[in-house]
Amino acid sequence: MNKYGKVAVVMGGTSAEREVSLMSGKGVLEALQARGVDAHAFDPATKPLEALKAEGFDRAFLILHGPFGEDGTLQGALEVMGIPYTGCGVLASALGMDKLRSKLIWQALGLPIPAFEILNANSDFAAIEQKLGLPLFVKPACEGSSIGVSKVKNTGELAAAFEEAYKYDKIVIAEQFIGGGEYTAAVLGEQVLSFVKIEPATEFYDYEAKYIRDDTVYRCPAGLSAQLNEQITAYVKQAFWALGGRGWARIDFLMDEAGKPYLLEANTAPGMTSHSLFPMAAREAGLSYEDLVLQVLNSTLE
């Protein structure tokens, strides 16, 4: 384990996803230490980032979620300091965090995505409700963990949903509802792992369903046909490549009632909590949580 040197598990931070990051980071830290890695917690909310250099860290396992940690900002700072880090680089992190820009790239490539509209205070909310149909989803472009997301079910509710999302980001998206099921694909290096189907007991797969409740049902493998698996795997690989992805990421996708897939969003710093989806897919591939963490860390040696 000496080949890794001193490893910083960068967790916490200042985004709205801080608590989730701390949960993920605790799991990663314990896994690395259990395998004999000289790993230490590092929270940028409590000490300056340059302390990574001052304290002699050789590499960083990034498990910060949300702005600063997952949007290319931290990655750029580490590039300047010359500290190898896990996961996607500056460009892929920035694009993956920005749901609007990633949608535009995938759309330009002809990849299937839900119909969407960009909202602002002057939007014709009634016209957008009619165009996209109800229900629909409203979300901030640059937040994760379903923070600020609303499901609009009734006519006239879109304006209030916009106001809620606008608290978290200046770019707000209204998105067509796709009702045939929610799934995720874990990308590890060059491999796409088994898909996970998510069946929340709540209205949708919100923050509570992701991290707090124990009645969300996960199915891995997801039960899709071999033909669909092959098709979606190709979409996921192309979506990951288009953003410039490397190392690991999750690509979430939806299915409609007719069995057509739609790419939803990318997560370039996947959650690693007890409820997280990436470890589930890894287990199906024969990788324990500790094996997965080490394999991700190994990417910093390349």
Q: Where are the domains of the chain?
A: 7-86, 96-111+180-299, 116-176
Q: Using a cut of 0.95, tell me whether the model's pTM lies above it.
A: no
Asked if residue 214 belongs to a known ligand binding site, the reply is no
Residue 137: strand pairing partners: 151, 175
Q: What is the mean pLDDT of residues 89-95?
A: 97
Q: Is the pLDDT of residue 203 over 80?
A: no
Instruction: Write down the pLDDT at residue 98.
Output: 94
Domains 7-86 and 96-111+180-299 share a fold: no
Instruction: Write down the pLDDT at residue 209.
Output: 59
Contacts of 40 (CB under 8 A, 6+ apart): 6, 7, 8, 9, 29, 57
Distance between CA atoms of residues 105 and 118, nearest Å: 15
Q: What is the mean pLDDT of residues 289-299?
A: 97
- State the fold for domain 116-176: Dna Ligase; domain 1 (3.30.1490)
Best CA proximity match to 64, nearest among 102, 107, 19:
19
Distance between CA atoms of residues 16 and 267, nearest Å: 15
Distances (CA, A) of 222 to 46, 201, 230, 255: 40, 17, 13, 12
Q: What is the mean pLDDT of residues 255-284?
A: 94
More confident residue, 240 or 66: 240
Asked if residue 229 belongs to a known ligand binding site, the reply is no
Q: What is the pLDDT of residues 155-193, one digit of tens each?
A: 999 999 999 999 999 999 999 999 999 999 999 999 999
Residue 119: strand pairing partners: 172
User: What are residue 121's phi and psi, to 5 degrees?
Assistant: -60, -25
Question: Which residue reads 């965090």 in tokens?
Answer: 97
Homologous superfamily assigned to 96-111+180-299: ATP-grasp fold, B domain (3.30.470.20)
| Cis? peptide before 135, omega within 30° of 0 | yes
The Cα angle at residue 93 between residues 87 and 97, in degrees rounded to 5 = 125
Distances (CA, A) of 86 to 60, 83, 137, 272: 7, 10, 32, 14
Instruction: Write down the pLDDT at residue 35.
Output: 96
Q: Is the pLDDT of residue 1 over 70?
A: no
* CATH code for the domain defined by 7-86: 3.40.50.20
Distance between CA atoms of residues 94 and 243, nearest Å: 9
Under the banding of pLDDT at 50, 70 and 90, the label for residue 62 is: very high
Question: Which residue reads 């797969």 in tokens?
Answer: 205
First-to-last C-alpha distance (Å) of the chain:
15
Q: Is the pLDDT of residue 256 over 90?
A: yes
Under the banding of pLDDT at 50, 70 and 90, the label for residue 215 is: confident
Enzyme catalytic residues: 17, 145, 276
Q: What is the mean pLDDT of residues 272-279?
A: 89
Asked if residue 2 belongs to a known ligand binding site, the reply is no
